[in-house]
Chains A and B, each alone.
Chain A
Amino acid sequence: MTSLIDTTIYSAITEAIRVEAARILSEGEVTAVVGYAAARRKGSAQPIVINTAADAGQLIFTPSCVNNLAVYLTKAKKEISKTGKIGIVVKGCDLKALVGLMGESQLKREDMYLIGVPCIGVLASTVQPATGLTAETIAPKCTECDAHLPQGCDFVPAQTPVVTKLEHKYAAEIARLEALTPAERWAYWKEQFTKCIKCYACRQVCPFCFCEQCLCDRNKPQMVDTTPRPAGNAAWHIVRAMHLAGRCAGCAECERVCPMDIPLNLLNRKMAMELKELYDYEAGFDVLDKGPLTMFTDKDDQSFIK
């Protein structure tokens, strides 16, 4: 068995989050705090929205705090009142989504109180919530994390994440797929897409899938077949990957929640590599008025025009 990754700082972080959440709620700085709370199953956690300082004691941070809570601040989540400032607990990867949403004029920095989490890593979706964090049980995205300590937050517990160097799981898998012939690669993705049951969990957890009506839900005209069959499945996943190109910063929620284990983040990472190569652009670090795919400059790559 691989040795446990040390996450003892998470208990001090939990304590600091509780104190800060109670403070900003009681002082009226925010109307709500979106964070994580323990759930029934041993070691499990779930998102929670609290409105009073008395509830701050429910907040936790553990290796089971996997969700990207940014989704709750988007207009897709109409249940959460967007009136007043909202506090939100964010890992570095989640913060990148908020940065993107600010760039797309979906959120304003002054409407958020960011509680950043110094993060060592969280659990993969394939293991039980009470499992210890190891090189095998850690979420694949955490092996390539470049944002263990979120920047530019309003509050970050004074803890230093000591990070274990791990094999980059996506880079290895993308390299393997790139070594295949186009026909072999297409066969691989066809097999993956065939597994899709169109539950749209990937869409619903994505902070960037905030369209009020998804193209794939439209039937006048019908753009994409809605049934879980090969044609409509492939169309949906290609639409999704393309729509996220230059926007997705790799929280990998789509892949984590897929009940059929489709490695969706590979598509997102590949798109991110293309953006890096073509426009020297990486999503999620700076709030930009326009991303590379929503503007044109005469320096843009035009080699595709033949």
Chain B
Amino acid sequence: MQKYISQHNLDTLLDTLIKRGIRVVAPRMNAGIPLYEPLGSSGEVVSDTLPRRSAKEAFFPVCEDIMSYKKEGQKVTITDIDPGRFPETVLFGVRPCDAAAIPVLDAVFSWDYKDEFFLERRKKTTIIGLACTAADDACFCTAVGLSPSASKGSDLFLTALEGGGYACDTCSEKGEALIANNQALFDGPSTSNPIPFAEPQTDTFDLTKVKAWLNDHFEDPLWDGIATRCVGCGACAFVCPACHCFDIVDEGTEKAGKRRKNWDACGFWKFTHHASGHNPRDLQPKRYRNRIMHKFKYYDDKFGQTLCTGCGRCVRICPVGIDIAAIVEEINKK
């Protein structure tokens, strides 16, 4: 059943969770940039802007240690990271485009290899989504089958109401448990109207048709036309809520160091560079083609989902103005 929570009670909820030692991650400002980061108190939350980077890093950090090593004489000691020690977390104020990407990531991180770092954090996290009331012309969630009020991926979903407070929908058992543990802060449903949702202006894509075209056009002049301009950085992948490629490197000295997992991107020249020196994606358009293919074909082939939630971050951030929404729209018209 739908509940109501006032702004005051919501702040109390977040502060209570923080006091109980729960890590509360929400959009907050860091050196002028909105990012999903652990809160010190509810007052830090900024709810009126889409964070620069997505919420994926609550489960899949930019960089994390996965083991450490030490060598003393002939003795080598390897120490694993214990994911059991990851903190219980509430991820708050998550935009629908960010929340919807989380089940998409679940599929790959629990596929043939179970990524314990991702999955343990995921298990210990409750996600509170927040409906979107503002969009710019880079937003295109509606084009990929989502919406500013989509609760996919959220355990609880909040909708801001006229006159203050939020309607709260329960979407999972984790959400139910969070309400049950904090019942006094929630009231019965409100009769107030929601603040109007954002209205992204792009047309809806026929994703089946887009995929059908991609199936047959691995080689096509389109790729050179759109992607010659690509300069080969990783900005699009790094701000994307659904991109999940990573690299593993050892850093340190012969005596001691750490093995680390960090974000990687298919736009990089080095991404498919073989030890032999051969690079199957030798030119940038081939790398950019992979980005589109992975999002709208390969991931769908494997997991039955699209690897794009229309957040528009890559559109806003691309150094050379590459617009994935415009590209898929073009494919959709073919």
Binding site for B on A (CB under 8 A): 39-42, 44-49, 67, 71-72, 77-80, 128, 191, 195, 197-201, 203-205, 217, 225-229, 232, 253, 256-257, 259-261
B233 near A79: Cβ-Cβ < 8 Å: no
Across chains A and B, the number of contacting residue pairs, with CB separation under 8 Å, is: 115
In the bound complex, CA of A253 to CA of B325 (Å): 24
Q: Which of A46, A227, A228, A253 has the most CB of B within 10 A?
A: A227
Chain B residues within CB distance 8 Å of chain A: 30-33, 52-53, 62-63, 136-138, 224, 228-229, 231-235, 237-239, 247, 249, 251, 260, 262-263, 265, 268-270, 282-285, 315, 317, 319-323, 325-326, 329
Task: Given A79-B228, A228-B62, answer yes or no on A198-B234 (Cβ-Cβ < 8 Å).
Answer: yes
Q: Is the CB of B321 within 8 A of A259?
A: no
A44-B323, A49-B228, A79-B285 known; 13 other A-B pairs, CB under 8 Å?
A39-B326, A40-B325, A40-B326, A45-B321, A48-B229, A67-B319, A79-B224, A79-B284, A195-B30, A205-B231, A225-B251, A228-B62, A257-B235
Q: List 19 A-B contacts (CB under 8 A).
A: A41-B138, A47-B320, A78-B283, A191-B31, A195-B31, A197-B53, A199-B237, A199-B238, A200-B234, A227-B260, A229-B63, A229-B260, A257-B233, A259-B235, A259-B238, A259-B317, A260-B33, A260-B52, A261-B31
Q: Considering residues A42, A67, A201, A260, which has the most beta carbons from chain B within 10 angstroms of its beta carbon? A: A201
User: How far is it, in angstroms, between the C-alpha of A41 and the C-alpha of B62 when the chains are bound?
Assistant: 29
CA distance A41 to B314 in the complex (A): 13
Q: How far is the CB of B225 from chain A (nearest CB, A)?
A: 9
Residues of B within 8 Å of A45, CB to CB, are 321
- CA gap between A165 and B274 in the complex, in Å: 53
Q: Are A227 and B249 in contact (CB under 8 A)?
A: yes
Q: A41-B323, A44-B321 are in contact. Are A204 and B249 (CB under 8 A)?
A: no
Asked if A46 contacts B137 (CB within 8 A), the reply is: no
Contact status B233-A204, CB under 8 Å: yes
Contact A197 B31 (CB under 8 A): no
Contact B62 A226 (CB under 8 A): no
Contacts of A42 in B (CB 8 A): 137
* CB of A64, distance to nearest CB on chain B (Å): 8
